[in-house]
Amino acid sequence: MKINNTDMTVSWKSWASLHISSLLCASGVVLGQFQLEPLNATVLQGSDIQFNATVPGKWQVMTWTVQKLLVLTVSTTSGIIPSSEQFSARYCSREDTSCVEFTIYNVTRRESGPVTCSIQGNFGQKTSQLHVQESGVVSIMGGNVTAVQDQHVEFQCVTTAWLPIPTVTWTRNGEAVDSSLFNTTSMTDGDSFNSTSVLQFQAVRKTTVTCLATIPTLEKPQSSSVFLVVVPEPPDWTVLIAVVVSFGGAALLVLLILAIIFCYTRRKEKKSNYQDEMRMVRTQSQLSGVDATWQRQGQVNAASEGQTSVTPSELTDSGFFQANGPNIFEVPDVVNSNQAGNFCNNANNSMGESGFKKHRHVTIV
């Protein structure tokens, strides 16, 4: 049996190549491949992000694209050609061109998406995913609150323009509030999120209430604080008002009764005074009538002296003589007659004792 030397030579070369490939795979070095780190990056809007590309072996041209737009080119012979000031690249060390650091400054939502590094030749390309988060605004509605002791109070915290949905928490005087005391709801607003959180508790003492909102890339939560001022509960005026109303009503009733009594007494006094005055006026009028009558009778008697027959007359209740017919009455001469004088004296004495009295007189000639 003959052995072909040519076949033996080929078999040995194949074994050697396979053995070398196995050693390269074991050491982690594969020709035509490179590493890109990180493959997933999450960054807060407005900050900077770096990507590192490590290339084994010699390469000539490297390109970087963001959102499928070419933003930077690196050449080992021509240098770095950026498209704008927002993007830059540099070698990780001056002597080693196998590592390139790519930086995006002031990252915005526009840069969120794939970031791809491509190397000409047999190296191919690798892509990393960039996620940009956005910190919005947080505020407690209504401002500071003043409440009565043990009053139920409510605070509402609103977050706007956040990405992703923020985590909302509360503190009172720096101490975390149990999640059972507040409720948080969220809703989309375009490509961002708004949230509303409501905190309820009982006012006990002066308290600083703080609402905090955060996302994973935010180093320090954003917050909004207000003050709760607690005042003592006002006294219950119900009993005092009832007592005042009761005493006031009783006092008004007493005053009303006294006013009625006073008015009745005054009215009675005025009526009595009026009657007395009318009685005095009537008495004076009667006395004046009597004097006038006597004078008139005296004149008539003087003029008609010598007549032998007359008709009696009566003195009326008003003190005037009334004739019982057309006859003319005659009386004694009031000037010279003693009878007329005695009659007047008797009349004056009677009126002095009991005021004015009604009399019927008959004059006889």
Q: Note the maximum CA span of the chain.
A: 226
Query: What's the sign of the alpha-carbon dihedral 280, 282, 287, 288?
Result: positive
CA dist., res. 65 & res. 81, Å (int): 13
- Output the pLDDT for position 236: 67
Helices (H), 121-211: none
Position 361 in a domain: no
pLDDT at 358 over 70: no
Same domain, 268 and 348: yes
Same domain, 40 and 123: yes
Position 184 in a domain: yes
List all residues 6 or more positions away from 218 whose beta carbon is below 8 Å from its beta carbon. Answer: 44, 133, 135
Among residues 202, 231, 260, the one where a domain terminates is: 231
- Output the pLDDT for position 292: 57
Same domain, 125 and 206: no
Same domain, 125 and 50: yes
Position 46 in a domain: yes
Kindly list the strands in the beta sheet with 49-54, ordered across the sheet, starting from the edge strand earlier in the chain: 35-37, 49-54, 99-104, 87-91
pLDDT at 317 over 50: no
Report the range of poorest mean pLDDT among 3-12, 248-257, 291-300, 355-364. 3-12
pLDDT at 141 over 90: yes
Read off the pLDDT of residues 146-160 as tens digits, 9 standing for 90 and up.
999 999 999 999 999
CA dist., res. 306 & res. 303, Å (int): 9
Among residues 200, 231, 262, the one where a domain terminates is: 231
Domains: count for the chain: 3
Position 79 in a domain: yes
Same domain, 257 and 333: yes
pLDDT at 213 over 60: yes
**Are 315 and 321 within 8 A, CB to CB?**
yes
What's at 207, amino acid-wise?
A: T
Position 19 in a domain: no
**Are 200 and 233 within 8 A, CB to CB?**
no
pLDDT at 310 over 90: no
What's at 342, amino acid-wise?
A: N
Same domain, 143 and 44: no
Same domain, 222 and 188: yes
Position 22 in a domain: no
What CATH number is attached to the domain comprising 221? 2.60.40.10
Same domain, 224 and 246: no
pLDDT at 355 over 60: no
CA dist., res. 137 & res. 143, Å (int): 16
Among residues 179, 211, 231, the one where a domain terminates is: 231
Position 346 in a domain: yes
Same domain, 49 and 117: yes
What domain range is 222 assigned to?
A: 137-231
Angle at 313 between CA 308 and CA 314, to 5 degrees: 155
